[in-house]
Amino acid sequence: MERMVIRDRISSILGRSDDKYVKPADLKEIGSVGEAQTRWTIIKRAGDGYLTGEAYAAFGEIQKLMEEHGIFILKIGELERFHKDISQTNKAEWLRLVLEQKLFQYSQAVPIFHSVSHYLSAGLHGDET
């Protein structure tokens, strides 16, 4: 990778904040700047927005089929994408903060909660839908 590309990426990360100290999440991101990105890493970060054409359509079909069996795939990628402003360096800490601060009540996660709730309530009542 070219030095200019790495320098620009690091500058972009540091330029997001005027804070005196660098946040741990930013340090982690800076540390990974030179690493090769696999498609899996990209999809985890970008979600279905990374997919196009047939791949996007196939994802939709797989997602629908999986939901019928109680497996809910996040369109946005990793769970941490629901609250990007919370440090993602420690997943357990991220989850604790989201739950304690009840951030989940006001996030993109709400429709998934409804889908899971509907699936569970249908199963409890013996419904097929």
What pLDDT shows up at residue 1?
Answer: 63
What pLDDT shows up at residue 53?
Answer: 93
Range 31-39, long-range pairs (CB < 8 A, 24+ positions): 33/6, 33/9, 34/1, 34/6
What pLDDT shows up at residue 33?
Answer: 81
Q: How far is CA 119 from CA 58, 77, 101, 113, 125, in A?
A: 22, 21, 26, 10, 10
Q: Return per-residue pLDDT of the chain as tens, 129 residues.
A: 678 888 888 898 898 888 899 988 888 888 888 777 788 888 888 888 888 999 999 999 999 999 999 999 888 888 888 888 887 778 888 889 999 999 888 888 888 888 888 899 887 666 655
Sign, CA torsion 9/12/16/18:
positive
What pLDDT shows up at residue 57?
Answer: 95
Q: How far is CA 129 from CA 10, 104, 115, in A?
A: 49, 25, 11
